[in-house]
Amino acid sequence: MKSGFASLIGRPNAGKSTLLNSILKKKVSIVSDKPQTTRNRIIGVKNYTEGQSVFLDTPGIHRPLHRMNVRMVDVALESIREVDVLVLVVDATERTGRGDRFVIDLLKEVSVPIVVVLNKLDLIAKQRLLPLIDWYRQQREFHAIIPISARVGDGVSQFERIVIEAMPKGKALYPKEFVTDQQESVLAAEIVREQLLGFTRMEIPFSSAVVVDEFEERKTDGLLRIYCSIFVEQMSQKRIVIGRAGDMLKRIGTAARLELQGVFATKVFLDLHVKVKPKWRENDRLLDTFGFPRS
């Protein structure tokens, strides 16, 4: 039997969370077209006949501009040092540049197998693929380079086989029924934030956070009651999130409630409130409260 940890690392918006959801065939990590969507490490466990792979979804590696971002990047960098296989997820639709070289440079001292995943294969012309593979081959020796589409599922099972084969020998690290360490209440907050990201633009996605105030377990009526606070940094942002006559908040709430009902397979009552916390991204106490880990 084989088992071990595989960290999904890469630049923002490369598709790491989509890949984790595709592997598990279950939503444990939110997905958005906005960079820096993933803010914390999320564990997803997959069992195979050969053994067990424990995948770590991590925040995108970027130049941090706030204390919040420093914590996010620290989470990603820490995962490089503590795993058995590294998975470098790349957005194949983007041109290679300094950001890609920076991430590869971070891996100079890494001795564990590194698998490069060229993601979003469904969105690029095939003639662009071979030069991209060749570019990565020239940077250093990788265990494997595999093109996939995490969104469609193409190549994902082949990728999983490569990872489990690269794992060291060992017993399962988690019980067979364990899937993720993502708590239901945290996932609920993230799903609300996912819809917030989808409906808002400009500075709102980056300066907002969602916290679950109450998460009432399902009772005899089968209704799951969730009460959330959406935090922003300025009063003008609060007005945007609420919208004219509350229309934006209603749209966010309706979309989030429908998504929550699908994830938790039960009826959901969702209550949202918007609060202003100036410069919360620089406030260590609030970052602790909002669940951002310290390095």
Question: Do 188 and 156 share a structural domain?
Answer: no
Question: Do 195 and 93 share a structural domain?
Answer: no
Query: Helices 184-199 and 247-264: crossing angle, nearest 10°?
Result: 140
Question: Do 146 and 97 share a structural domain?
Answer: yes
**Domain contains 204:** yes
Q: What is the CATH number of the domain that holds 283?
A: 3.30.300.20
Question: Do 78 and 190 share a structural domain?
Answer: no
Question: Do 242 and 191 share a structural domain?
Answer: yes
**Domain contains 153:** yes
Residue ending a domain, among 166, 192, 215, is: 166
Instruction: Work out how many domains the chain is built from and give that number.
Output: 2
**Burial class for 105, CB neighbours closer than 10 Å (0-12, 13-18, 19+):** exposed
**Domain contains 193:** yes
Question: What are the strands, taking DSSP E only, across the chain?
Answer: 2-9, 42-47, 51-57, 85-91, 114-119, 144-147, 209-216, 223-232, 267-276
Tell me what pLDDT residue 295 has. Answer: 65
Q: What is the CATH number of the domain that holds 141?
A: 3.40.50.300
Question: Do 161 and 266 share a structural domain?
Answer: no
**Domain contains 198:** yes
Q: Over its length of 295 residues, how does the chain's per-residue pLDDT go in tens digits? A: 999 999 999 999 999 999 999 999 999 999 998 888 999 999 999 999 999 999 999 999 988 889 999 999 999 999 898 899 999 999 999 999 999 999 999 999 899 999 999 999 999 988 899 999 999 999 999 999 999 999 999 999 999 999 999 999 999 999 999 999 999 999 999 999 999 999 998 778 889 999 999 999 777 778 999 999 999 999 999 999 999 999 999 999 999 999 999 999 999 999 999 999 999 999 999 999 998 887 6
* C-alpha distance from residue 213 to each of 155, 251, 272, 284, 289 (Å): 40, 20, 10, 20, 12
What's the rounded Cα separation, in Å, for the pair 277 and 173?
40
Structure tokens at 281: 């991204």
**Domain contains 155:** yes
Question: Do 132 and 226 share a structural domain?
Answer: no
Question: Do 189 and 158 share a structural domain?
Answer: no
**Domain contains 248:** yes
Residue ending a domain, among 135, 166, 197, is: 166
**Domain contains 294:** no
**Domain contains 295:** no
Question: Do 234 and 137 share a structural domain?
Answer: no
Question: Do 191 and 137 share a structural domain?
Answer: no
Question: Do 265 and 152 share a structural domain?
Answer: no
Domain span at residue 263?
184-289
Q: What is the β-pairing status of strands 267-276 and 223-232?
A: parallel
Question: Do 21 and 157 share a structural domain?
Answer: yes
Residue ending a domain, among 112, 139, 166, is: 166
